Amino acid sequence: MVQTTPSKVDLAEKFGQFCDHWAPRIVARYNDNEVRLAKAEGDFQWHSHTDSDELFLVVSGTLTMEFRGHTEVLEQGQMIVVPRGTEHRPRALNGEVQMVIIDPKDTANTGDPATATKAIDL
């Protein structure tokens, strides 16, 4: 078994390393999950993930999460877990949002690898 020394991740420093929107960056891995950072502005597309839940944690800004039938507004320090198979559309309607997203490794951010922006290591 390979052991590594744990080290902290400075979210502000990592967010400072990129500026594009809706393009996730992997900053950590644990078990079979990826901890991703993303900046968002405007609308993302409607989509779902058939095989996994998805966690969103807002670090800064206001994220609107639309579902078929209702909407949740998340402020800094708030999070939501979108259950697998639930169609949703994240939106950043009032300026840039910085968020942490936790997904199983290699999960397509659109739910479809053909249309996804591949998460890359930061």
Q: What is the DSSP string of 49-111?
A: -SS--EEEEEEES-EEEEETTEEEEE-TT-EEEEPTT--EEEEEEEEEEEEEEEEETT--TTS
Residue 3 has pLDDT above 70, yes or no: no
Residue 11 lies in a domain: no
Residue 51 lies in a domain: yes
Tell me which of 115 and 84 has the higher pLDDT. Answer: 84
Look at residue 101 in the predicted model and tell me its pLDDT. Answer: 96
Residue 71 lies in a domain: yes
* Interval 30-77: pLDDT, tens: 999 999 999 999 999 999 999 999 999 999 999 999 999 999 999 999
This prediction's pTM: 0.91
Residue 30 lies in a domain: yes
CATH number, domain of 52, equals 2.60.120.10
Residue 91 lies in a domain: yes
Residue 6 lies in a domain: no
Look at residue 5 in the predicted model and tell me its pLDDT. Answer: 87
